[in-house]
Amino acid sequence: MADHMQSADLCAATGLIDRCHLGDCRRLMEYLPASSVDAVVTDPPYGDTSLAWDKRCEGWIPAMSRVLKPSASVWVFGSMRFIATLFEAMEDAGFRYAQDIVWEKQNGTGFHADRFRRVHEHAVQFYRGAWAELFKDPQKTNDARAKVIRRKQRPAHTGQIDRGHYVSEDGGPRLMRSVLEVANEHGRALHPTQKPLGIVMPLIAYSVPPGGIVLDPFLGSGTTGIAAEMLGRHWIGFESDPACIRMQEERKRQGRTDLEAA
Ligand SMILES: C[S@@+](CC[C@H](N)C(=O)[O-])C[C@H]1O[C@@H](n2cnc3c(N)ncnc32)[C@H](O)[C@@H]1O
C-alpha cells in the first residue's frame, strides 16, 4: 500500500483528517502522528498588520517539521518581507528553497503613493529529502492561443502570400507559468486575507499525491481544505480564531459555487 494511504488511514482512524481543529497550531500539531503529512500549504500570520490575530507565531516550523514526511514540500504565502524571515528557521528544520510563484491580483490593498502599485504576493516552496524522490506533479495549461508564426526566411514570392507564415494551433499542454493571474476575493471575502481557490489548488495538485494529506496550520476561512477536497486530497487544518470556523462553513458553500462557475 502506498505510504500516503497508510498515513491517511491512520489520521482518519484517529478523527484528525478532513477537518479543522480549533486552537493554537503549535499545541495541536503534537496530536498528529510523526511523519504523517505529505505537504504543508499555508498562509501564516505575518505580524505586520494591525489585525488582532496577526501576531508572529514563533515555533510553528519545528512543530510542522515533526509531522511532515522525510520527503515533503512546504508552500508558504506572504510578502517577500515576511517570507525572507522564514529562511533561517526553515533551514534549521532541514528544508531548502525550491522555487516560488507569484500571485498576480487584479488589484491590491494598502497602496503607498511613493512606491510601485503592489498587486502581487509570493508563495515559496521549501522541500526536504532528495528532490528526485519528492512528489511533484508539474501542472499544465491548455490556454495557449493559436498564433501566426512568421518564417524568418520568407520564400521567394510565388503569388501565395500564405507561404510566408503558418498558424500554430498546438496550444498545449504547457507547463503552468510561475506567475498566476487569479482574481482576489475583494468584495466577497469573509476573512481579511482570504486566498482564492484558484491560487491554492495548483500548489496542492503539484505537491500532494492523490489521497495524500495536506496540512494548513493557519486555515483561516478554510481555503486549503476546500481546495484539497476538490482535488481528492485529504486535509488537516488548525485555526485559533473561533470566528473562522463559521467563515469556513460559509466559505465552503462559496467554494462550491466557484467550482460550478469555473
Ligand atoms: C493569513 S490568515 C490565513 C487566511 C487563509 N489563508 C484564508 O484563505 O482564509 C492566518 C490565520 O492564522 C490564524 N492564526 C494565527 N495564529 C495562529 C496559531 N498560533 N494557531 C492557529 N491559527 C493561528 C489567524 O487567526 C488567521 O485566521
Calculate what percentage of the chain has a pLDDT beyond 90: 65
Residue whose C-alpha cell reads 496550444 in the numeric block: 171
Domain assignment of residue 159, given as a range? 140-174
130 and 42, same domain (yes or no) = yes
Task: Evaluate whether 57 touches 25 at the Cβ level (below 8 Å).
Answer: yes
Distance 12 CA to ligand 1 centre (A): 23
Residue 203 domain-assigned?
yes
Q: Is the CB of 220 under 6 A from ligand 1?
A: yes
For residue range 228-256, what is the model confidence (pLDDT) as tens digits? Answer: 999 999 999 999 999 999 999 988 777 65
Query: Per mean pLDDT, which range of 22-26, 217-221, 253-257 is the poorest?
Result: 253-257
The CATH number that applies at residue 70 is: 3.40.50.150
Q: How many CB atoms lie within 10 A of CB 79?
A: 13
Inside any domain, residue 10: no
Q: Tell whether 52 and 131 lie within a shared domain.
A: yes
> Would the pLDDT of 161 be above 80?
no
Judgement on whether residues 55 and 111 belong to the same structural domain of the protein = yes
Nearest-atom number in ligand 1 for the CA of 241 is 25
- CA 200 centroid distance within chain: 4
Name the residue with the closest Cα to ligand 1, atom 26: 220
219 located within any domain: yes
Is the pLDDT confidence value at 171 over 70? no
Distance from the alpha carbon of residue 193 to the mean position of ligand 1, in angstroms: 9
In a domain, 7, yes or no: no
Alpha helices in 93-216 (DSSP H): 197-207
Same domain as 154, residue 82 = no
